[in-house]
Structure 1
Amino acid sequence: MTAELRQVRDAAEGLALEAALFSGTGPGVLVWSPQSRGIVYPAALIRKHGLESSTAFEGWPITMRPTGGGPVPQGPGMLNLALAYTVENGATIEETYADLTEILRDALSGLKLDLECKDIPASFCDGSWNLGVNGKKLVGTAQRWKPLPGGGCRVLAHALIFVEGNVQSDAEMIADLHRHLGLPPVDPKKHVTLRALKGAEMPDRAEIAHQLYHASWRRLRTRRPALAAA
């Protein structure tokens, strides 16, 4: 495993690394993948749905995250990209989402995918800044912002990339959770992996992590210099 890809035990360890990045001052990039499967659930919905005392659903450990959205699966076939940096007053969520999606397009450009940036109804944790192919979700995105005492904000931007494995089976588990909680339905067929799209042409995870890591630093250091300011 390269230094560019952090292999962690579980989602809780990965989210702890992201929290440390977010609490820093300068720009930072983290690419991580968990060794075990689990569910990551937004803190804002934990009590609302009566999960505050739950540690698992159908055998999948539940880990709380501070960002919004809906529950998502984590597992060995997924890569997580996290960027932490400071923006000046006046920066917008749309601008930072645009930066994140451009990083992802840059990193995945060698795979010649026709990536669409839009909502994908019936996908889990749907949002208008998903990246998909042919109406199926390949990447989910999220953000967390924190105002700074001296002005500006600290931003944590996150992307979850479905690389390989059976993401439709994972989505079926999230669909079961949605049914259990009375949330909108999830269609497992609305999700796809890089492996399913590219087959043997897909690079290994370490190479994809390498591209994500360096595309992130190119964006932070050269295309938007103000983002790198501490």
Structure 2
Amino acid sequence: MLDALARALAPNASIAHGNGEAAIVEDERLLEALLDDQRAAGYARLWTNSRCLVTTRRFARMERFAEAAAASSARGWPVFVRASGGTTVVHRPGILNFSLYDIAPTGTVDINTRFERFTRRLTAGFAAIGVAAETGWVAGSYCDGRFNIVSVGQKIAGTACLVRKRGGWLGVLAHAAISIDGDTDTDLTAITEFERALGLEPRYAPDSHTNLAARIRMVPR
């Protein structure tokens, strides 16, 4: 199932199996390296990661961050910080990360258009393996956004965007974390406990989330 979706999204890319912070930082490193080339380019990266929480710089600046991160790590969920916005998300085996890099001259790229193209590629990939999906908000989902990938009203993937400029060139990194299988209730518990320790009041709903395995089981044969 993971391999089938990976082939539908990026047939020429292999799946890299990462380990914690290094796998997360690699996204930003690749974006900077492509920008350094100062030429138009596109690149797709497929990767998984070890079990961890990935949060934002905004949360990392909060007074209780170090204590909350240490407690989460003690529960088996180390916390790392990403460059893109949003709130806290889960990485683990069973979640496929899809990163798409697009480098072009500044002024020739409409970021919203490029990101919408990215989400269309995602929904087309789901359709190729028999799962209908669309974009939209999902009340009660973690790291909610209008470019969630949604199947039958439940969030199946979250998306994010990172933009860098250099020397007349623009780099756009679009990213999706796709839930293939595994226990989404456990994911929610890990995020909720961490964010509450930060002093936040998250209210996430288990039935707002699903994974690809559950959705495929529901597809009529």
TM-score, length-scaled by structure 2: 0.81
Is 1:112 paired with 2:130? Answer: yes
Which 10-residue stretch deviates more, 67-76 or 107-116? 107-116
2:190 is aligned to 173
Q: Deviations for 1:114-167, whole angstroms, at most 9, x for unmatched residues?
A: 212101111010000001112110010001111222x24111110000001112
Q: Distance in 2 between matches of 1:195 and 1:71?
A: 23
Q: Is the 8 A contact 1:21 1:28 kept in 2?
A: no
Percent identity, aligned pairs only?
Answer: 25
Distance 1:176 1:49, change over 3 A: same
2:65 is aligned to 51
Q: How far did 1:200 drift?
A: 10
1:98 is aligned to 116
Q: Is the 8 A contact 1:115 1:131 kept in 2?
A: yes
Alignment gaps of 5+ in structure 2: 4-11, 35-40
- Among 17, 20, 23, the residue aligned to 1:7: 17
Task: Classify the secondary structure of the residue corresponding to 1:27.
Answer: strand
Task: Classify the secondary structure of the residue corresponding to 2:139.
Answer: coil
Query: How many matched pairs?
Result: 198
Q: Is the 8 A contact 1:77 1:162 kept in 2?
A: yes
Task: Classify the secondary structure of the residue corresponding to 1:23.
Answer: helix
TM-score, length-scaled by structure 1: 0.78
Task: Classify the secondary structure of the residue corresponding to 2:87.
Answer: coil
Q: Distance in 1 between matches of 2:218 and 2:16?
A: 24
Match for 1:30: what amino acid? R
Q: Distance in 2 between matches of 1:108 and 1:133?
A: 9
Alignment gaps of 5+ in structure 1: 202-230
2:178 is aligned to 161
Q: Is the 8 A contact 2:25 2:82 kept in 1?
A: no
Is 1:27 paired with 2:42? Answer: yes
- Among 39, 42, 50, the residue aligned to 2:53: 39
